Amino acid sequence: MTEFIILLTSSLVILVSLFAKFAKRVALIAVVIIGVGLFLSITRGTQLKNERVKLFWPTVTGHVLESDVTGERAFHPEIKFAYTVLNQPYQAQDNLLIPGFGSKAKRREVAIKSIAPYPPGAGVLVYYNPDNPAEGYLHVGPSHGDYIGLSFGIFLLIGGLILIIYSRGTKLHQR
């Protein structure tokens, strides 16, 4: 039993000394991870804010011109529609913010189901930018990707901070 404790203790001493040598590298890696996390958090947070603003844009009734599924591997719904703002006609298209998860068959199935409520000629509610009425959407608000990107950015920030704390802890054990 004593031999085991000595072996375990000496192994821990060797591991701590090895980690101390790599502490500077760990700190550098942590700074890079924090930088990427900060970038993702800021860009996706800004995107979330901008998408949420669209929820309060004015709306008008429009009509669907065309609805189709596009793409060969990543299938996307594409709805072309027309609407009028202050007697000025506009046309736009929307992909309905459908995420592309799953198998090829599943993505196609989801895209086909998503265009079902939008047959040509159907009436639709159009959100338009009051500063630029040519910018119109059928579906507004943050996408799944915005939330995933923000979450991943926060995860990287926390992970980088943990690495910094870890590298500082190994420096203290060096002394």
pLDDT digits (tens, 9 = 90+) for 68-106: 988 877 788 899 999 999 999 999 999 887 766 666 677
Of the candidates 97, 111, 99, the residue with the CA atom closest to the CA atom of residue 140: 97
DSSP code at position 141: S
Structure confidence at residue 19 (pLDDT)? 55
Helices (H), the chain: 2-21, 23-54, 104-115, 144-174
What pLDDT, on the 0 to 100 scale, is given for residue 1? 42
pTM of the shown model: 0.68
Q: How far apart are CA 146 and CA 158, in angstroms?
A: 19
Q: Which of 3-7, 91-95, 169-173 has the highest mean pLDDT?
A: 91-95
Q: Give dist(CA 8, CA 5) in Å, integer.
A: 5
- 88-94 β-sheet, strand order: 88-94, 76-85, 59-70, 123-129, 132-137
Query: Using 50, 70 and 90 to split pLDDT, how confident is the model at 17?
Result: low
Tell me how far apart the alpha carbons of residues 108 and 123 are, in angstroms, rounded to a whole number: 24
Q: What fold, for 57-139?
A: OB fold (Dihydrolipoamide Acetyltransferase, E2P) (2.40.50)
Task: Kindly report, residue by residue over 103-157, the tens digit of the pLDDT.
Answer: 667 778 888 888 899 999 999 999 999 999 999 999 898 887 888 888 988 998 8
